[in-house]
Chain A
Amino acid sequence: MMGISSLVSKTDSIYKNTSIAPLIIFRIIFGALMLFGISRFLYKGWVQQLYIDPQYHFGYYGFEWVNPLEGSLMYIPFVLMIVASIFIIVGFLYRYSAFVFFICFTYVELLDKTNYLNHYYFVSLMSFLMVLVPANRYFSIDAMLWTRIKRTTTQQWHIGILKFQLAVVYIFAGIAKLNSDWLLDAQPLKTWLQAHHNIPVVGGLLQEEWVAYVFSWFGCGYDLFIVFFLLGRKYRKYAYVFVVVFHFITWCLFPIGVFPWVMIFSTIIFFSIEFHEIVLNWFLKLFKQSALVVEDVKSIDKRKLTLYFVSLYVVIQLLVPFRYVLYSGDLFWNEEGYRFSWRVMLMHKEGYATFYLVDSKTGRESEINNAKFLTRTQEDQMATQPDMILQYAQILKNHYDGKTLHYGNSHFKINNPEIHARIYVSLNGRRSQLFVDKKHDLTTLKYDLKHRNWVEPFKK
């Protein structure tokens, strides 16, 4: 495959300079997408709903110290992101702006794994990469104010690493689809598509089984190969039509927010330098500036450290999605090594979790009303994800430990309570199966990254 190798492995060429136009255009696109995405997030009232309203948050392993800001202060990172994305668009204090955006976005994402989305992870990574690349060296306020930074060229890897990141998203999303539910049963698409049978004209087709198979196989093939078609000059135009059509369809059918637009616009970076220069010159003309004249593209600035760092990043990106092989058991069922691996629109999981508070002294038990502690979304996510189940058990234990409960004329001083749960989960249209047996005291189970043998085995 020419794809990946042309992006990363030719160590000589990654230092070779190239026209800065693609980087500049990408800076503007990225900033504009983020401005739109964050504004939409605010407009939908999600800051309140996801970060202010919930009483508890499900932190990531090792990042439990990341806590939300008090009440309305939680809007601060979002306002900062709005400002930062405007600054990114116009290239003002670019590196600081990109850094502020990266920190704020990642901070918000680390608050609660309930809200984990692959495309949020993608934005975190992209904004991190944007800090590394000098996308303000042309057509920016920075370059106007500090003319010494102005360049018409940039190093290959500055653009290559962005293409690499997009390639990783697509290719790993494709690899993730190479499983029997997706390919042989057309699940979960069979379930999701038929739900749209009232769409005019095409609705009837969407409840046909063969359509689900076509969507599944096409989606898989698209994810696996689209990058290679985008890289080659010959098929790029047709490939991009596929990109637009594919993401437009997903936008119509599934509630995946701005992600389709992020991909449609981000993949423009695969276009030729000439294309980017035409667009950039159009912008320049708009602002009555002279057209870009690219200087000699000779090789400069060979820094070993950069090479090591970029290589390390690439290796991590290539390994992390495969970490699931370290775990035994079913990946979709146990979700060990599931996140941060580009498993997008891959499964439909629904759970019903009944938690029990057990007073160890008397052996008496109470069913917990989950709605008293969690939001609807948190409860839904928790019910199917083992790590969150343990976190919730801990939340319950901390809540009840030391409390005196009064019922009628009886009262119970709760000390060191046990928390049990009986959980059923349905995966990709199957009948639900026992997920967690009531016999375990969840408070005694270790919350770590080891294989969780207390989750009932999955029966196909």
Chain B
Amino acid sequence: MIKNLFKYLVVIIAFVSITAGCKKPAVETPDFDKAELLGNVAANIVLPSLNDFDAKLSALKLSFEVFEADRTLANLEVVRIDWKATYSSWQTIKIFDFGPVLVNGFKGSTGTFPSDTTQIQSNISNGGYNLASASNVDAIGLSALDYLLYQPTALDDFVNNTSYTVYTSELIEKIINELTVVNSAWTSYRSTFIASTGTETTSAFSLLINEFNKDYELSKNAKLGIPLGKQSLGIQLPEYIEARNSAYSFDLLRHSMISLQGLYNGDINSSSGSGVGFHEYLIHLERSDLANDINSKFNSIIAKIDSFQNSFEIEMASNQSELDELYNLIQQQVVNLKTDMTSAFGVLITYQDNDGD
């Protein structure tokens, strides 16, 4: 009897292998390679973005030096334009909060907002500050520059107060120095990153997916939800608006969404999956419905952002319902990315042993 059972089992296995194997030989999808995806992300997204950020920062430093030598409004305007370009470029870097960016705490020191203006003012007037200390994390970075470059008396302060100018140039210098460290670390981290194709939580692919999702949710909450009052019983909190002084908030949100969509498509300038990215992986897994939904949702989000005519703060005061709609669009995409896409990739998110439930 046992012998029969054994035979029966072998027959079943053989039968299933053959039938399943023959099911659709014609539409064989090409093999997908995560190593290729990681290689593409490193070569065509991370490193060029770091270089772009580097170039924008250098331009900012240069224009600030020109402004320092000749403190006119016209020169300050050039600094402001360069700062905007730098802050926009940062929206891509901030996604990659792992490896060298994480080790050097680069995301926190460069991108934390809102800034503590009281702390900034006291640093400037008292001197003797240590920009690297944890207590100054809200007094540094691109958001602090938003305040220093745009607050109502900015030009006067630059003209009349040397400490104010020094502080500003030190903030720029700090980002440049940290970027140099991150940049060189990424050059050597690159090969580790590309080789780490496993499914464990510490693998580069898992990190990339997790940070992609985390950054998406961070944009949803920090750039939009918190100022709109989504976490404060509907009480709007304008003091939490990113880049409030420059009124550059919508642009930054737009850049953040475009960067995330670019990473998703494996091509930073793409909205259609032209590079080897998550989109192509989903297509390979025969999930084109999901893949296309994600891109069209990104497109709707960006179109919605473009529909606003005024600054975020003005829209918030007068046009909350439209912003709520934008928020809902962004929130709907979380389900696509965090739940559907992540589970399609079979990425594990827990560090502990697991038995699949």
User: Using a CB–CB distance below 8 Å, which chain A residues touch chain B?
Assistant: 46, 49-50, 115-119, 186, 188, 191-198, 204, 207-210, 213-214, 217-218, 221, 225, 228-229, 232, 234-235, 254-259, 335, 338, 343-352, 354, 357, 359, 362, 364-369, 376-377, 380, 405, 407-408, 410, 412, 424-426, 429, 431-432
Contacts and interface: CB of A to CB of B under 8 A. Distances in A.
Interface string B215-257: 0000001000100011111111101000000000000000000
Interface string B20-36: 11010000000111110
B13 A214 contact: yes
Contacts of A380: 349-350
Interface centre among B6, B221, B237 (most CB of A within 10 A): B6
What bracket does the count of chain B residues touching chain A fall in? 35 or more
B346 A424 contact: no
Interface centre among A193, A357, A426 (most CB of B within 10 A): A426
Contacts of B12: 217, 221
B238 to A, nearest CB: 9
B303 interface: no
Contacts of A431: 289-290, 340
A347 B200 CA distance: 18
Contacts of A221: 9, 12-13
Contact of B237 (A254, A258, A343, A408): A408
B233 A362 contact: yes
B199 A426 contact: no
B320 to A, nearest CB: 14
Nearest to A258: B353
A345 B33 CA distance: 25
Interface of B: 2, 5-6, 9, 12-13, 16-17, 20-21, 23, 31-35, 197-200, 221, 225, 229-237, 239, 285, 289-290, 331, 334-335, 338-340, 342-357
B339 A352 contact: yes
B2 A234 contact: yes
Contact of A367 (B225, B335, B349): B225
Contacts of A209: 20, 23
A407 B17 contact: no
A458 to B, nearest CB: 15
Given A204-B31, A366-B233, A255 B13 contact: no
Given A194-B346, A354-B331, A407-B235, A432 B340 contact: yes
Contacts of B229: 407
Contacts of B346: 188, 191-195, 348
B342 A350 contact: yes
Contacts of A197: 31-34
A452 B349 CA distance: 27
Contacts of A198: 33-35, 197-198
B352 A115 contact: yes
Contacts of A214: 13, 16-17, 20
Contacts of A366: 230-234
30 contacts: A117-B353, A118-B355, A186-B20, A193-B346, A194-B346, A195-B199, A196-B198, A198-B34, A204-B31, A210-B17, A210-B20, A213-B16, A228-B2, A228-B5, A235-B2, A257-B352, A257-B353, A347-B357, A348-B356, A349-B357, A366-B231, A367-B225, A369-B221, A376-B350, A407-B233, A408-B232, A408-B236, A408-B239, A426-B340, A431-B290
B355 A345 contact: yes
A407 B357 contact: no
B11 to A, nearest CB: 11
